[in-house]
């Protein structure tokens, strides 16, 4: 094997590694944060060196927290990213519609290691890349106002509540019933928050995740299989 051939292979390898490194640097996500702007909407932003429109992966927060997140939904950047003049681009993705008082997991597509928590309400602290090693946001729950419990007035302690006790169990809404809700013409413009309200008023147990998945089954057009 000639020295010229070996040098050619070495140069090809070095070139490949340079391109690979640049690609990695271009996709590296920085300053990733999510702010709940409305009960049903959140705005997520991040910067990197990619000028193409970005995508955000998300899911509702599972009981086990960030470590159990299964990012099943995709939210795409509506406009072009903003050039910052230093080779970086700022990306903005709007997550909507969201279920009120439900927190979410989110991460830019291709950078799932930057996973953070999207707060459950506009009053919650913004989710962002943290230094606690978990990627999550730590919410400050220290009360700022003393809680005052009023003393009962004369005779109040003898009052017997007349409200009927809540049932110990309730029927769980099935996927078929959730799909039937969205297929009803009167619910054509309903989102998953309306789905939750509907079943709760009927005395059903239904999770936000069930209504979210039903909403996407109803609104997402299946992609035709390629021939």
Q: Is 16 helix (H, G, I), strand (E, B) or coil?
A: helix
Q: Phi and psi of 116, rounded to 5°? A: -135, 170
The closest alpha carbon to 91, from 56, 40, 122, belongs to 56
The closest alpha carbon to 129, from 44, 59, 32, belongs to 32
The answer to whether residue 141 is domain-embedded is no
Q: Give the domain CATH number at 85.
A: 2.60.40.380
Work out the average pLDDT over 71-96.
92
The pair of three-digit structure tokens given for residue 105, joined into one six-digit string: 């997991």
The pLDDT score that the predictor gives to residue 115 is 93
pLDDT in tens, 153-198: 555 445 544 444 444 445 777 888 888 988 888 887 888 778 888 8
The pLDDT score that the predictor gives to residue 187 is 83
Confidence bin at 130 (pLDDT 50/70/90) = very low
- Indicate whether 107 and 189 sit together in one domain: no
Confidence bin at 147 (pLDDT 50/70/90) = very low
DSSP one-letter code for 45: E
Dihedral angle sign, alpha carbons of residues 209, 214, 215, 219: positive
The pLDDT score that the predictor gives to residue 36 is 94
The answer to whether residue 199 is domain-embedded is yes
Mean pLDDT of the chain: 75
The pair of three-digit structure tokens given for residue 181, joined into one six-digit string: 């809700």
Kindly state the percentage of the chain with pLDDT values over 90.
30
Evaluate if residue 82 carries a pLDDT over 90.
yes
The answer to whether residue 84 is domain-embedded is yes
| Domain of residue 181, residue span | 170-219
Residue with tokens 């391109």: 19
- Indicate whether 90 and 174 sit together in one domain: no
214, 175 Cβ separation under 8 angstroms: yes
- Indicate whether 50 and 110 sit together in one domain: yes
Work out the average pLDDT over 197-210.
76
Cα–Cα dist 124/114, whole Å: 20
Domain count, the chain: 2
Q: Phi and psi of 75, rounded to 5°? A: -115, 125
The answer to whether residue 136 is domain-embedded is no
DSSP one-letter code for 172: B
The answer to whether residue 179 is domain-embedded is yes
Q: Phi and psi of 198, rounded to 5°? A: -60, -50
pLDDT in tens, 23-59: 444 568 999 999 999 999 999 999 999 989 999 999 9
CB neighbour list of residue 187: distance below 8 Å, 6 or more residues apart: 181, 194, 198
Work out the average pLDDT over 73-77.
91
> Does the model's pTM come out above 0.85?
no
Evaluate if residue 21 carries a pLDDT over 90.
no
Output the CA angle 174-179-184, nearest 5 degrees: 130
The closest alpha carbon to 77, from 62, 65, 89, 87, belongs to 89
The answer to whether residue 104 is domain-embedded is yes
């Amino acid at each position: 094997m000639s020295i010229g051939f070996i040098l050619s292979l070495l140069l090809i390898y070095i070139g490949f590694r340079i391109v690979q490194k640049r690609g990695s640097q271009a996709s590296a996500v920085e300053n990733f944060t999510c702010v709940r702007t409305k009960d049903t909407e959140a705005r997520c932003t991040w910067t990197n060196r990619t000028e193409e429109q970005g995508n955000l992966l998300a899911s509702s927060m599972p009981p086990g927290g960030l470590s159990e997140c299964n990012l099943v939904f995709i939210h795409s950047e509506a406009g072009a990213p903003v050039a910052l003049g230093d080779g970086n681009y700022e990306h903005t993705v709007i997550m909507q519609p969201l279920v009120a008082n439900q927190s979410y997991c989110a991460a830019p597509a291709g950078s799932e290691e930057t996973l953070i928590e999207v707060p459950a309400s506009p009053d919650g602290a913004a989710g962002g890349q943290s230094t606690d090693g978990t990627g999550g946001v730590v919410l400050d729950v220290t009360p700022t106002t003393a809680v005052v419990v009023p003393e009962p007035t004369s005779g109040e302690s003898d009052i017997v509540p007349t409200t009927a006790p809540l049932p110990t169990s309730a029927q769980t809404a099935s996927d078929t019933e959730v799909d039937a809700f969205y297929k009803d013409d009167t619910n054509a413009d309903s989102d998953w928050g309306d789905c939750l309200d509907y079943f709760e008023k009927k005395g059903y147990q239904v999770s936000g995740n069930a209504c979210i998945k039903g909403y996407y089954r109803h609104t997402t057009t299946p992609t035709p299989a390629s021939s």
